[in-house]
Amino acid sequence: MDGGVGYADMDALKATELRLGLPGSDPPEKPLPTTTTTTATTARPTKRSLDEDRAARREPSEGGRATSTRATKAQVVGWPPIRSYRKNSFQAMKATAEAAGLYVKVSMDGAPYLRKIDLEVYAGYKELREALEDMFKCFEGCKGSEYAITYEDKDGDLMLVGDVPWEMFTSSCKKLRIIRGAEAIRGLGSSQ
């Protein structure tokens, strides 16, 4: 391209020029490059989104916060000034609160559906028992029926809950099963 930019070209150039200011307002005059330099007006995607946003905000229809332009505007790099680990931690916290934990199924003989509990919530067997009693009391047919809490371990064997240290139990328990009635009493012996 030779030196000397035509008016039409200047318009086109101005249209692509990115600057702070409302669309349609006059920019401060800057000398245009006379040699071909492709980087004279460097693309600034962040500024463009800002211009759009400001235009949207100053429209008379601005009132409610959830305008469609706001929802679709590009995010400005590094804004708001929050470190990325902290941004993620809030979203992650909500996610991990559900995702983390040792969730195991709990079935009870005769109950129409199963439950799921997070073993990490409980400090030991006592809390677990209390929680399970609470959870399944609506299904108890005749009061005082005996039941035994058992679990299936890593090897697939059905084990009685309470024999091993709590940590060992939580690391090997795959699912819980509450056995009721005569079957539970038989062969249980004294304590539970």
Partner 1 sequence: MVGGFRWAAMFPDEVWEHVFSFLPADADRNAAALVCRAWYRIEQRSRWRVFVGNCYAVEPAAAVRRFPEVRAAAIKGKPHFADFNLVPSDWGGGAEAWVEAMAEGWPHLEELRLKRMVVSDDCLELIARCFKNFKVLSLVSCEGFSTAGLAAIAANCRNLRELNLHENEVEDNCLHWMSHFPESFTSLVTLNIACLEGEVNVYVLERLIGRCPNLKTLRLNHSVPIQRLVGLLHRAPQLVDLGTGKFAAQHHPELFSTLESAIAGCKNLKSLSGFWEAGPTYLPAIYSVMDLIEDDGLIAVAASCKLLQELRVFPSDPYGAAQPISLTEHGLVAISAGCPMLHSVLYFCRQMTNSALLTVAKNCPNFTCFRLCIMEPHTPDYITRQPLDAGFSAIVESCKHLRRLSLSGLLTDLVFKSIGASANCLEMLSVAFAGDGDAGLHYILSGCKNLRKLEIRDCPFGDQPLLDNAAKLETMRSLWMSSCSVTLGACRQLARKMPLLNVEVINERKRGLPLELQPDNCPVEKLYIYRTVAGPRSDTPSCVWILR
Which residues are near partner 1 by CB under 8 A?
Answer: 20, 30-31, 33, 35, 37-44, 46-47, 50, 53-54, 57, 65-66, 70-71, 75-87, 89-90, 92-93, 96-97, 120-121, 123, 127
DSSP 122: -
Q: Which residues contact 55 (CB under 8 A, 6 or more apart)?
A: 22, 23
Compute the CA torsion angle 175, 180, 183, 186 (nearest 10 deg): 100
Nearer Cβ to partner 1 (127/183): 127
Residue 8 or 99 having the CB closest to partner 1: 99
Query: In terms of CB distance, is 4 or 156 closer to partner 1?
Result: 4
CB of 81 to partner 1, least distance (A): 5
CB of 85 to partner 1, least distance (A): 7
Residue 5 C-beta: closest distance to partner 1, Å? 14
Q: How far is the CB of 101 from partner 1 (least distance, A)?
A: 9
The smaller minimum CB distance to partner 1, of residues 83 and 143, is found at: 83
Torsion of the alpha carbons at 138, 141, 145 and 146, rounded to the nearest 10: -60
Nearest-approach distance from CB 82 to partner 1, in angstroms: 6
Cα–chain center distance at 151: 31
What is the nearest approach in angstroms of partner 1 to the Cβ of residue 169?
13
- 10 Å Cβ neighbour count for 78? 9
Q: Which is nearer to partner 1, 39 or 191 (CB)?
A: 39
Contacts of 102 (CB under 8 A, 6+ apart): 118, 119, 120, 170, 173
Q: Which is nearer to partner 1, 41 or 172 (CB)?
A: 41
**CA pair distance 39, 18, nearest whole angstrom:** 12
